[in-house]
Structure 1
């Protein structure tokens, strides 16, 4: 992959109940990603040991166009609106592919 496009997102959730509901929202969103987004190579939700209200997303797309298409999907628009109920802070880091193994 020479033109990959990715990002890492750190979500700080409001509390333990919000974390559980957020994880359920992500699982429902992943159903749409799996079915409708061939350009989404990796979309992972991670827990952070010792930080129960933190989730880290790692997202990798074939290219910027695949990311732009991802952002326009109805399931993603729903996720972006619904997550606000659970999230107290969001930090996004965009990534540019340099080298690696896929």
Structure 2
């Protein structure tokens, strides 16, 4: 049984316009993740109530190799470059599996 490899990313966006454009960028990127990344189990963009310029990603991959493959995808490289226009801060937390229900 695979335990997965996960992370949480908290993005603080520059302003409301940046937030809308960021969400559109994420949606376009997700189309390609769904199509081309079998090892990406969960990739979700969350809005934070009361913090309109914050987004939180939860990402779960089959294993570290699937995450490494994700990072090498052309659509992810484009996302990482393009997001800089909208993001003022990004905080990444990597996760180690302890227990849970899958």
TM over 0.5: yes
Deviations 1:9-62 (A, max 9, x none): 000000000000000000000011000000000000000000000000000000
Query: Which residue of the partner structure matches residue 80 of structure 1?
Result: 80
What secondary structure is seen at the aligned counterpart in 1 of 2:98?
coil
Q: What is the CA–CA distance in structure 2 between the aligned matches of 1:42 and 1:76, rounded to whole Å?
A: 15
Query: Which residue of the partner structure matches residue 66 of structure 1?
Result: 66
Q: What is the CA–CA distance in structure 2 between the aligned matches of 1:2 and 1:27, rounded to whole Å?
A: 28
RMSD, matched Cα:
0.7
The equivalences for 1:1-102 within 5 A come to 1-102=1-102
Superposed displacement of residue 3, structure 1:
2.6
What secondary structure is seen at the aligned counterpart in 1 of 2:9?
strand
Q: Name structure 1 gaps, 5 residues minimum.
A: none
Contact 1:2–1:97 at 8 Å: present in 2 too?
Answer: no
Q: What is the CA–CA distance in structure 1 between the aligned matches of 2:2 and 2:62, rounded to whole Å?
A: 9
What secondary structure is seen at the aligned counterpart in 2 of 1:81?
helix
Q: What is the CA–CA distance in structure 2 between the aligned matches of 1:82 and 1:64, rounded to whole Å?
A: 24
Q: Name structure 2 gaps, 5 residues minimum.
A: none
Q: What is the CA–CA distance in structure 2 between the aligned matches of 1:98 and 1:39, rounded to whole Å?
A: 20
- How many residues of Structure 1 are paired with residues of Structure 2 in the alignment? 102
